[in-house]
Amino acid sequence: MKSYDIVTGLERARPSSTQSEGSGHGKPPGSANQKIGDKSINGKKQEENEKQGPFYYIGGTNGIALISSFCESKGWKRMFSNIRDDYLLKWIDASTPSIHQTFHGGKQMLNQIPNNKVLTTKFGLCSSLKDNERIMNKYGRIMFSKFMELEEFYPETYRMDLKSERYAFCRAFQEGQTWISKPAESSQGRGIFLLRTLEDMMAFCEKLESVAENPYFRMRFYKSPLNRIVQRYVAQPLLLEGRKFDVRSYFLIACTSPYVTFFCHGYAKLTCNEYNPNSDDLTDHLTNQFIQKKNPLYSEMKEDTVWSMEHLNDYINEKYMEAKHLPRDWVFTVFTKRVQQIMTQCFIATKARLGRQLGYFDLLGFDIMIDQNFKVWLLEINANPSLLINCEVLKSVIPKVINEALDLVFEIFKKSGRGTNSHCMRKQLHAKDFGMSRERICTIVPDIFAKLRLHNCLSGKKHLPLTVGENGAAEEQVDVQFLNLEQNQTLHWGQTEKTRWT
């Protein structure tokens, strides 16, 4: 079986008799008589084996054309067998243990970090943030003064699979409040409903208790009513032209060894209908395109259900800046900084539990809401953010985000593969023109956090010493490089015509 150098892409000799790691077969993946999991048809497999790599594999349906276009531009060839392990890049919608077992760190790139569920599932995010909050409370807020309290950015949330949290929710519920119940691992608004009255809450809790000891649901937990969270509904959301909205922002974990992360703005998602807090129609409450397509008005309002960040910024400048005493360009200043703080805190709360090998990366979608007091709330984090392009704003945003994110991932992968150390790599990255204006800050998160070590990536300082150790004592100085760029630079990650990598 052939393999390829990660830097040059040239063919590298490899003994053909070597059994592939974790394949369970005596013959190498891709041999002519292996059919399990092979998605090729009508001789495509034979043609595929005759191609010269590097190879890439795409699993699932999200963003196939975008990923393919990027890879083909690099001269890589697509493989259609999901059991071959001689790929350079594998892009999948969801990870499985078998995929990580056959992954070759330092030689391949894979877009799903092991155990990313601690960030991207409702249970995982809720537990991770609460665990982090307990640690901060235990060791004192003075040590963690740069961190926000959980209630400042994450709506009150309870896991229904935990008896203590079910009881806590019942105690917290009050008549006249609205709570929203979401399946723990679902997406696109599936299985969501609202709890408004005491009768709703009592019926819901009684149902949960009735199935808690049911052996059927113990064996099929993913189907259980317990497999969901209940979250306090964000009251008095900020409205755009009378409609509810939230913001999709991107967080790229470009490398896990060392950790290198980036932030990028996305777009605003709006409902078709004007907001009615008493409505039972979910299209009045949920902004994602999957739900909005069910609205009869969607076909004529499709282009107005997605706004660019520039459009959002202009609207807030015009409608709210004076009335709410906001600084000009609030979206690209205050809002951006708060979103970055939220991302950083979520990442630091979970990074110790993420899988780490050179080549792992993840592009995550953060859903952010703003209320009428201009308080910023994290709703959820998506491991497989939608790459669907069905309106003009998405056409201008998503392809550029994907192309430049993959460019960053590949460039960092090559530098790390050449043995470039973390400090030198930061200098090289800093020397490149990412073209980010000041409102689109790019940060590099240092790879030296221990259990209780902390660092606020958004301090505004160029170099920040890390001074808190295991016992609260001062430890080594951390050289953290921030990419503070000039205001007149116009190219942005996710917004450029071409990323300036050489």
Fill in the DSSP letter of residue 352: G
**Do residues 444 and 481 touch, judged by C-beta distance below 8 A?**
yes
Predicted TM-score (pTM) of the model is 0.77
Per-residue pLDDT of the chain (502 residues), as tens digits, is 444 454 444 444 444 333 333 333 333 333 333 333 444 444 555 455 556 879 999 998 899 999 999 999 999 999 998 888 899 999 998 878 888 888 999 999 999 999 999 999 999 999 999 999 998 888 876 667 778 999 999 999 999 989 899 999 999 999 889 999 998 877 777 889 999 999 999 999 888 888 877 776 665 655 667 889 999 999 899 999 999 999 999 999 999 988 999 999 999 999 999 999 999 888 889 988 888 888 888 888 999 999 999 999 999 999 999 999 999 999 999 999 999 999 999 999 999 999 999 999 999 999 999 999 999 999 999 999 999 998 999 999 999 999 999 999 999 999 887 655 545 555 445 433 333 333 333 333 333 232 223 233 333 332 222 222 233 332 322 222 222 222 222 223 443 333 322 2
> Is 12:94 a contact under the CB 8 Å cutoff?
no
Distances (CA, A) of 227 to 26, 98, 158, 181, 195: 40, 24, 11, 10, 16
Q: Are strands 89-91 and 109-110 parallel, antiparallel or unpaired?
A: parallel
Separation between Cα atoms, residue 279 and residue 95, nearest integer Å: 37
DSSP 112: S
Question: Residue 117: CB partners within 8 Å, gap ≥ 6?
Answer: 123, 124, 383
Angle at 164 between CA 162 and CA 170, to 5 degrees: 105
Query: In the numeric block, which tokens belong to residue 55?
Result: 């190879």
In whole angstroms, what is the distance from residue 389 CA to residue 297 CA? Answer: 19
Long-range contacts of 324-327 (CB under 8 A, 24+ apart): 324/374, 326/374
- The packing angle between helices 392-417 and 422-431, to 10°, is 140
C-beta of residue 438 within 8 angstroms of C-beta of residue 458: no
Cα 44 to chain centroid distance, Å, stands at 34
Under 8 Å CB-to-CB from 275, ≥6 apart: which residues?
237, 239, 242, 243, 244, 284
Cα–Cα distance between 366 and 260 in angstroms, integer?
Answer: 18
**Could you tell me if residue 61 is left (phi over 0), alpha (psi between -120 and 50 degrees) or otherwise beta?**
alpha
- In one letter, which amino acid is 42? N
**Cα separation, 413 vs 237, whole angstroms:** 41
Residue 431: CB atoms within 10 A of its CB come to 7
Q: Rounded to whole angstroms, how far apart are CA atoms 405 and 411?
A: 10
Owner of token pair 């369970």: 24
CA proximity to 335, closest of 287, 263, 404, 405:
263
Q: Which domains are seen in the chain, by residue range?
A: 1-112 (no CATH), 156-233 (3.30.1490), 239-435 (3.30.470)
Name the amino acid, one letter, at 166.
Answer: R
**Kindly report the CA angle at 151 between 147 and 156, in degrees rounded to 5?**
140
